[in-house]
Structure 1
Amino acid sequence: MQVFQPDSLKSEIDERVPDLVAMRRDLHEHPEMAFEEVRTSGIVEQRLRALGFEVQTGIAKTGVVGLLRGEQAGSDAKTLAIRADMDALPIHELTTVEYRSQVDGKMHACGHDGHTSIGLTVADILSKKRSELRGNIKFIFQPAEEVVGGAEPMVEAGVMNDVDGVIGLHLISNYPIGRVGVRAGTVFASADKLKLTVHGSGGHGAMPHGAVDPIVIAAHVITALQTLISRETSPFSPAVVTIGTINAGTAFNIIPETAELGGTMRAFRPSIVRI
């Protein structure tokens, strides 16, 4: 069986680093949010087609899939999927780097510009190894990861039907450049979106006794939610509940009718999420 030599592969990667960096910085300058990744998916499609991949577009609106068939792959060959996400976040970038976001209120703050660039670079390298491959490689570029909405429609569209295994990665800023973290078992938790609306009874801020203040209730709810972790969840089953947004009121001296809380729940096991 043909084995890629580490030294040879390292040199092939090094040759592509300038293009990888340029691509990532271009994507960083032009962030697109969930299901809006039109420019990004266009770049992905163009590069995959140029490499000779079989390409499908428009999956889950803006998703792209590229299939590389190994020339030594038989009828019973395995298919490995390599997955990357493409969407940005609704965050205003405050950095001063020359490749900072050119779109107000949108930023690649979670590294998906890097994931997409790495995926395309790996596709480039492996396309040159087509004659040595005994199996097939499917590259999956997923939209809308940040809103937990892109994966399911891609699966429903059948992109995983012939896949025997999947690999992927996630950039993380608390590791130094050049370090790769690998571990057995689960690495990333599930991600569920949480939205709570507290209904009260509005009134004047100077007469709170005549109102039911949803902001005070919301404050107690936020604190109480943490007991789901500390008192309802086993310490051997990691879980997180985070409230990231609080929206209530339109004036400093008025008690509003409602308060809205938005957050996320994360866990490694479905049974914990159901708690």
Structure 2
Amino acid sequence: MTINQQQIHQEVTDIYDYIIALRRHFHRHPEPSLKEFETIQRIKEEVEEIGVPYINVGETGILATLEGGKGSGKTILLRADIDALPLPDETGKPYASVNPGFNHACGHDGHTASLLGALKILKEHQDEFAGTIQFAFQPAEEIGAGARQFVRGGYIDGIDHVFGIHLQSGTQVGKIVATPGPSNASCDIFKIKVFGKSGHVSRPDLGRDALVSAAAIVTELQTIVAREVRPTDEVVVGIGVLRAGTNYNIIANEAEIEGTVRTFSHEVRAQVLDAVERIAKNVSDAHRTTIEFSNYDAAAPLINDIQAANHAIRVASDIVGIENVITDSPKSMGADDFADYLAVAPGVYCFIGTQSSEETAYGHHHEKFDIDEKGLAIATELHISYALSYLKEPF
């Protein structure tokens, strides 16, 4: 017998306390990116207790595999990120962080607990579906280094479809966001080192001023959005750091610029990054200085597959009602490395509302960030329902 929506809802309700207890455990014990050692150990213990095999991915990630008892079929990946932030916890809650200076202020504790709850229920119904469900417990989302361990390591080469969720304090609890097309921007973090020649400021002609060159580069980079991309393309070229100089009377021989590029298109992303490097080099040449350009690819643009998003809307409607499904959420310049999975296979990234009061309305990455935990039940139910409905009628 195939499990129906009412049964899924009841079974999630039955293990709600289990999900909440896990979330509060992870919240008490946050760990930063690539150092989630105790976190992944607890996840492994839960997965072993549930009885699902897994393999290690890097030092602090695992990929669990649940094969359906009705034979072969498609393979879908469900993902939860598990890392926390280097941020104090000022919630004052009984489950506040006991690790000073670290805080699950982005909801990854809830992501992890929800996916473990989904795994627990899906294991009980293993004989009722064909195909395979894989569960990625992924480190280092906050620094854009976790998804690539799964992707570049070849661990998900056979995946047909991907699905993920993110809790969202800006959305009321009881609502689900499923938006077709671009959802989150790419994130590139570039550095430009400028090299000049020192000298006394009273003889600028004898030096090559890296500070002036760097300042000119920063100014000219602002022309990319204004003059090199279409007005309808949403692009950010932001500069957050400009370091130069050692003393008021010394011509700076080195300067360093750090900035970011955010776009919603693979093509525009490449165009803008090329422009940043080109402008930096040409401006530097004009000031008789040289540069070194480097870029860290933190995340691709997150673009939801249209068909997958429409499927998510139907599944979400069965859970919270169509009136509580948001299908036109504004795009966000915030990045998420779930985009790396979407570059391998079609899928969708949904957001689950967790706001119900002033306490749960703080923005992500805030010291007082917290959630209405009722959103975790919705997240768990959505994981289960989306996976089973996809495997039953793949597209």
Give, in angstroms, the shift of residue 102 of structure 1.
2.8
Structure 2 vs 1, CA of residues 29 and 213 (structure 1 numbering), >3 Å: closer, same or farther? Answer: farther
Distance in 2 of aligned mates of 1:252 and 1:8: 72
Uncovered stretches (5+) of structure 2, i.e. residues with no partner: 272-395
RMSD: 3.0
Q: Is the 8 A contact 1:208 1:255 kept in 2?
A: no
Q: Does 1:130 align with 2:126?
A: yes
After superposition, where does 1:84-103 map in structure 2 within 5 Å? 84-103=80-99
Instruction: Answer with 127-136 or 216-225: which moved more.
Output: 216-225
1:79 lines up with 2:75 in the alignment: yes
Structure 1 residue 167: Cα displacement: 0.4
Corresponding residue number in structure 2 for 1:262: 258
Asked if the contact 1:203–1:255 (Cα under 8 Å) also holds between the matched residues in 2, the reply is yes
Change (3 A) 1:53 1:252: farther
Amino acid at match of 2:77: A
C-alpha displacement of 1:51: 1.2
The higher relative CO (CA closer than 8 Å, separation ≥ 6) is in 2
Q: 1:172 aligns with which of 147, 168, 179?
A: 168
In 2, Cα distance between equivalents of 1:184 and 1:231: 29
Match of 2:180 among 176, 184, 197: 184
Give the 3 Å change call, closer, same or farther, for CA 85–226 of structure 1 in structure 2.
Answer: farther
> Whole-Å Cα distance in 2 between the matches of residues 202 and 176 of structure 1?
57
AA of the residue aligned to 1:63 = G
Identify unmatched segments of 5+ residues in structure 1. none
Amino acid at match of 2:33: A
2:44 maps to what in 1?
A: 45
The answer for the alignment partner of 2:112 in structure 1 is: 116
Name the CA shift for 1:99/1:131 in 2 (closer, same or farther; >3 Å). Answer: same
Contact in 2 for aligned 1:148/1:192 (Cα 8 Å):
no
Query: Which shifted more, 253-262 or 124-133?
Result: 253-262
**1:148-190 CA distances to partner (integer Å, 9 max, x unpaired)?**
2222232233221221111001222211122110011232232
Distance 1:100 1:239, change over 3 A: farther
Q: TM-score, normalised by structure 1?
A: 0.82
Supply the distance in 2 between the matched residues of 1:141 and 1:71 (Cα, whole angstroms): 23
Name the CA distance, whole Å, in 2 between partners of 1:14 and 1:145. Answer: 29
Q: Which residue of 1 aligns with 2:60?
A: 62
1-structure distance, mates of 2:88, 2:77 = 33
Give the Cα–Cα distance (whole angstroms) in 2 for the partners of residues 252 and 110 of structure 1: 42
Q: Which amino acid letter does the alignment assign opposite residue 11 of structure 1? A: Q
Aligned residues: 269
1:130 Cα deviation from its structure 2 partner = 1.0
Tell me the secondary structure at the aligned position of residue 54 of structure 2. strand
Structure 1 24/255 Cα, relative in aligned 2: closer, same or farther at 3 Å? farther
Change (3 A) 1:64 1:197: same
Whether the 8 Å contact between 1:82 and 1:167 is mirrored in structure 2 is yes
1:27 equivalenced with 2:23 (yes/no): no
SS in 1 for 2:95: coil
Change (3 A) 1:86 1:251: farther
Shift of 1:11: 2.0
Matched AA of 2:132: N
Q: 1:253 to 1:178 in 2, by over 3 A?
A: farther
Superposition deviation, residue 106 in structure 1: 2.7
Q: Report deviation, 1:45.
A: 1.2
CA–CA separation in structure 2 for the residues paired with 1:274 and 1:5: 45
SS of 1:106's equivalent in the other structure is: coil
> Which structure has the highest helix share of the two?
2
Shift of 1:246: 5.2
1:264 positional shift: 2.9
Q: Report how far residue 70 of structure 1 moved.
A: 0.9
Alignment of 1:133-212 (within 5 A): 133-199=129-195
